[in-house]
Structure 1
Amino acid sequence: MRHLRSLRAFIRELESIGELRQIDEEVDWSLEIGAVVRRSYDLRAPAPLFTNITGYQGTGFRVLGAPGGLSGPAHPLARIALALGQPADTPGQSLMEAVVAARDRPGIPPQVVPAASAPCKENILLGDDIDLFAFPTPLIHGNDGGRYIQTYGMNIARTPDGSWTNWSINRMMIAGRDTLACLIPDPQHLGVIRAQWAEQHEPMPVALALGVEPGLPFAGAYPLPEGADESHFLGALFGEGIEVVPAETVDLMVPATAEIVIEGHIAFDETVMEGPFNEYPGYNAVEQSPKPVFHVSAITHRDAAILPVVAAGPPVEEDHTLSGTMHAAEILYKLRKAGLPVTSTWFSYESAMHWLIVAVRSDWHETMPVGSAELARRVGEVAFEGKAGYGAPKILLVEDDIDITDINEVVWAFATRTHPEHGEVHFPAEPHVQLSVYLSEAEAHSYRAGKVLYNCLLADLFDEKDRPVKGSFENGWPKEIQQRVLDKWQAYGYR
């Protein structure tokens, strides 16, 4: 387990394995940066680091694109793995186990370090010096309603009684030199905390930390129960607390190594128009609506600060890798706590988080006195319940002869193992994220819609001796033939 304590340490690691592309060619903040980031996702190219941005030459400010995107075939999950303290070539199911292992450990709170030595305090801007346009925030998509400075940072807020601090990622658009427009859905924890401040007719103190250490966005994406502190969970994962310092104008602690920290209050009774902005289902957004206003009271930043940017849209991008990884881990934790024979879970990144894949032991039928329909029902009841299952509309339930992190195997299992007439288990009117494009207006506004589990289990359909066996390279040839072919692969002329 290796704890990378800053975005810059993460960038150095990416560079060392060939997963960073420094772009010194001049690039325009208006759309060009967003297009390059989007193209890098499509090609699974190294993360782009922009150093020469139109209108910002001489400031030293930089933009890092695709900080949590997928990588090339040598280590496709490298950015995720490094952020979570694992080697770059760690496979997906091992990442699940590392995260789940931290779930039962006691949380470790942050360590307060001297503000004088904190990199985030190298520059402190107050009063008339506050100007959000001083940073090279890109206009990411051609249809965006404005420049989104918050696509991969941490919103830090605390309840009025001080009992709960929440760290989350919610988009924020620049509305003026010292104002932001904020998306804060009511069911999300940031919305729950803001409602408590609104009940007291008070604005909510908030700090927006951008360019934080790489594990923090993953912790912020983890669907912990209400009242749990994501920074403590990250401490449990690494076995040591993150480093924090007091903010300048609000009573909150902020990450000491953050590149940029924006402080202020979110109004309880004031809105500004926000959007549209593309989101994780992958479609061009068209909606603009009033959103809460964030009034900025201070900005602190590092010299030559680096702004991380996500170009949300079709898979695979950070909405999928962060939420998909961490939500699947929590569902795995809950399924095991329920005593179900689950070996792993995985949100298919390629499905834009609409397919949760659950694998059970291939011998489940010998260990459980129920058929596959009842097992499927039990899995769905646990997986769809609570915050972790909120964004999981469809589950594919398979045996663990399938590599659930391989989309090709998942599609094959779904296509060949689900009975078209009675292979579905329906769960009506479940809590549901509002962004799926197939929802009716009533479903989207009520945050409730039907969900489904596709039963791809075979074990109870056949006698053990007759059970279908995957005709793969590993299963279809004797071990000595497999090894001979592997040893001679280059001799055959392959590379």
Structure 2
Amino acid sequence: MTRITDLRGYLDALESLGDLHRVRRPVSADLEAAALTRLTCERRAPAPLFENVEGAAPGFRLLGAPAALSSAPGRELARVALSVGLPPDATAADLVEHLVRARHLPPVPPKTVDRADAPCKQHVLLGADATLDRFPVPRIHAQDGGRYPNTWGVIVARTPDGRWTNWSIARVMQLDGRRMTGLVIPAQHIGMIWQEWVERGEPMPYALVQGGDPAIPFAGGIPLPPGVDEAGYIGALYGEALETVPCETVDLRVPASAEIVIEGHLSLERDAREGPFGEFAGYASQETSMQPVYTIEAITHRDDPIWPLVAEGRPVDEFHTVTGVGQAAEVLAELRDAGLPVTTAWSPLRAAAHWMVVTVPQNWRERLPGVDSAEFTHRIGEVLSDSHSGRATAATFVLDDDVDPADDTDLLWALATRIHPLERSEAWYGFVHPLLNCYTAREREEASGPIVFHDGLLPAPGEGRMPHASFAQAYPEDVRRRVLEHWTD
């Protein structure tokens, strides 16, 4: 396992792959850095590290595309793999299995280190000095409602009784130097914890963490079950405790290796307008909503701090590589826990987290005697229609594992030739993700509608199944060998 303990070690690893580009010319944090970042995502270019940000103090930097697809040949998922301790050539299946294993391991709680040993405490700003005005806070899209301090950091929050500490990613928009607002959705973990503080009549303490161990935003972006501490999950992922340090003004602990930590309290009321913001579905939203206000009471940071940014939009960016991969891992774990034979699950990156693919082994009929493909697909629907991760995508396709769901060419061929245009599908009605653009405006507003499970399983061998007309299957081994031996000719 490749353990990387902070963002700077992660950047060293990207640079060794040729997957980091140091941008030394002056770049504005107002749209320009995000525009360049968005183009690197769409062209699969190296991650840009902006070392000369206009208007920022010398040494203050921005990092774009921290976990987008890699430019390293043959290593598309290198940034994601390195973020969770895997080698850069890890496959999609490797990633999902790695996350599923960690989910079933006992959590390894974080350990507390002295402030003097915590890089995030190199600079401590309190009172009037704790202002965003000294930082290069980026504006991401021209249509956005303001600058967004948070697109890749985790918000640390804890229930009033201390039973659950949650680290999650949610977008946060700057109101002024000392105030921010952001999405606090009731169905999401931060919304659940905030509601407990509201019922208690006290503003919620929070810490907003930028940078640190690259697994931190990854764990914050995947849908772990309610009550699971992300810090303990990261410890299980690595097999060793994450180092944390107490905050300055609130009773929370944050990663010691963080680049920047913002501390304060979240208001009891939804008293600020947030948005609009360009979304993961690939469209520039025109919607706004009333959200609570984050008051800033302290900021701590490292020397020459690095502020990560995600230019969210059309695939593929960090929402698709992180949330999509995390949802696939949860789906796989839930189906296996239900005793169903499943090879893997994958959220196709270029489907903008709207689809899930579940592949099953060739011998599934032997393992489920008397069950046909319709019943098997129904059982998968029963499990996933009752789970948060299962309901987070609009369509799930069940395929044989002769298809690699992470290979877009393979997958598109299978979907086109195995999914019936009308039949062999079942809809399950209930909660749907309100940001999925395939739903009607009313369904998104009510967060209610159908998720559909498509039976794309082939007939049993000997019952009309046709062999592949591919190089691997349509030619004898000796012919394939001769072709490969002379391939360079």
User: TM-score, length-normalised on structure 1?
Assistant: 0.96
CA displacement, residues 61-119 of structure 1 (integer Å, 9 cap, x when unaligned): 11000001001342000000001111101111011111111111100001111111100
Residue in structure 2 matched with residue 414 of structure 1 by the alignment: 415
Cα drift, residue 30 of structure 1: 1.3
CA displacement, residues 273-292 of structure 1 (integer Å, 9 cap, x when unaligned): 21110111110111123211
CA displacement, residues 423-460 of structure 1 (integer Å, 9 cap, x when unaligned): 221112x2211012233343223322111111111134
Residue in structure 2 matched with residue 133 of structure 1 by the alignment: 133
Q: How does 1:467-478 map to 2 (within 5 A)?
A: 467-478=465-476
Residue in structure 2 matched with residue 25 of structure 1 by the alignment: 25
- For 2:252 and 2:280, locate their aligned partners in 1 and report how far apart those are by CA, in whole Å: 30
Residue in structure 2 matched with residue 394 of structure 1 by the alignment: 395
2:348 touches 2:408 (CA, 8 Å); kept in 1? yes
Q: Which deviates more, 228-237 or 264-273?
A: 264-273
Residue in structure 2 matched with residue 93 of structure 1 by the alignment: 93
Q: Which deviates more, 471-480 or 393-402?
A: 471-480
Opposite residue 480 of structure 1, the aligned amino acid is D
Instruction: Tell me the secondary structure at the aligned position of residue 209 of structure 2.
Output: strand
* Match of residue 482, structure 1, among 457, 480, 483: 480
Q: How does 1:79-228 map to 2 (within 5 A)?
A: 79-228=79-228
- For 2:390 and 2:193, locate their aligned partners in 1 and report how far apart those are by CA, in whole Å: 21
2:22 touches 2:50 (CA, 8 Å); kept in 1? yes
Q: How does 1:320-399 map to 2 (within 5 A)?
A: 320-368=320-368, 369-399=370-400
Opposite residue 421 of structure 1, the aligned amino acid is L
CA displacement, residues 391-420 of structure 1 (integer Å, 9 cap, x when unaligned): 111001100000111111111111101122
Cα drift, residue 225 of structure 1: 1.8
2:391 touches 2:451 (CA, 8 Å); kept in 1? no
- For 1:135 and 1:68, locate their aligned partners in 2 and report how far apart those are by CA, in whole Å: 22
CA displacement, residues 318-348 of structure 1 (integer Å, 9 cap, x when unaligned): 0111111111001101111111110000001
1:365 touches 1:459 (CA, 8 Å); kept in 2? no
2:269 touches 2:291 (CA, 8 Å); kept in 1? no
Residue in structure 2 matched with residue 297 of structure 1 by the alignment: 297
- For 2:478 and 2:131, locate their aligned partners in 1 and report how far apart those are by CA, in whole Å: 68
Residue in structure 1 matched with residue 316 of structure 2 by the alignment: 316
2:63 touches 2:309 (CA, 8 Å); kept in 1? yes
Cα drift, residue 312 of structure 1: 0.5
Opposite residue 316 of structure 1, the aligned amino acid is V
- For 1:483 and 1:78, locate their aligned partners in 2 and report how far apart those are by CA, in whole Å: 31
- For 1:196 and 1:486, locate their aligned partners in 2 and report how far apart those are by CA, in whole Å: 64
Q: Does 1:67 align with 2:72?
A: no
Instruction: Tell me the secondary structure at the aligned position of residue 263 of structure 2.
Output: strand
Cα drift, residue 186 of structure 1: 0.7
Opposite residue 410 of structure 1, the aligned amino acid is L
- For 2:296 and 2:245, locate their aligned partners in 1 and report how far apart those are by CA, in whole Å: 18
- For 2:273 and 2:374, locate their aligned partners in 1 and report how far apart those are by CA, in whole Å: 48
Cα drift, residue 270 of structure 1: 4.9
Opposite residue 194 of structure 1, the aligned amino acid is W
Opposite residue 253 of structure 2, the aligned amino acid is M
Residue in structure 1 matched with residue 453 of structure 2 by the alignment: 453
1:363 touches 1:459 (CA, 8 Å); kept in 2? no
2:384 touches 2:391 (CA, 8 Å); kept in 1? no
CA displacement, residues 331-376 of structure 1 (integer Å, 9 cap, x when unaligned): 1011111111100000011000111000001222233221111101
Instruction: Tell me the secondary structure at the aligned position of residue 453 of structure 1.
Output: strand
- For 1:266 and 1:124, locate their aligned partners in 2 and report how far apart those are by CA, in whole Å: 21
- For 2:409 and 2:382, locate their aligned partners in 1 and report how far apart those are by CA, in whole Å: 27
Q: Which deviates more, 478-487 or 220-229?
A: 478-487
1:364 touches 1:459 (CA, 8 Å); kept in 2? no
Instruction: Tell me the secondary structure at the aligned position of residue 389 of structure 2.
Output: helix
- For 1:367 and 1:152, locate their aligned partners in 2 and report how far apart those are by CA, in whole Å: 42
Paired-residue identity, %: 44
Cα drift, residue 221 of structure 1: 2.1
Q: Does 1:424 align with 2:425?
A: yes
- For 1:444 and 1:419, locate their aligned partners in 2 and report how far apart those are by CA, in whole Å: 27
Opposite residue 64 of structure 2, the aligned amino acid is G
Moved over 4 A (4+): none
Opposite residue 375 of structure 1, the aligned amino acid is F
Q: How does 1:197-276 map to 2 (within 5 A)?
A: 197-276=197-276
User: TM-score, length-normalised on structure 2?
Assistant: 0.97
- For 1:212 and 1:271, locate their aligned partners in 2 and report how far apart those are by CA, in whole Å: 31
Residues paired across the two proteins, number: 487
- For 1:487 and 1:131, locate their aligned partners in 2 and report how far apart those are by CA, in whole Å: 64
Q: Which deviates more, 237-246 or 451-460?
A: 451-460
RMSD: 1.3
2:52 touches 2:58 (CA, 8 Å); kept in 1? no
CA displacement, residues 265-318 of structure 1 (integer Å, 9 cap, x when unaligned): 000125212111011111011112321100011000011000000001010000
Instruction: Tell me the secondary structure at the aligned position of residue 320 of structure 2.
Output: helix
- For 2:270 and 2:423, locate their aligned partners in 1 and report how far apart those are by CA, in whole Å: 51
1:165 touches 1:229 (CA, 8 Å); kept in 2? yes
Change (3 A) 1:83 1:450: same
Change (3 A) 1:291 1:483: same
- Alignment gaps of 5+ in structure 1: none
- For 2:348 and 2:13, locate their aligned partners in 1 and report how far apart those are by CA, in whole Å: 26
1:361 touches 1:400 (CA, 8 Å); kept in 2? yes
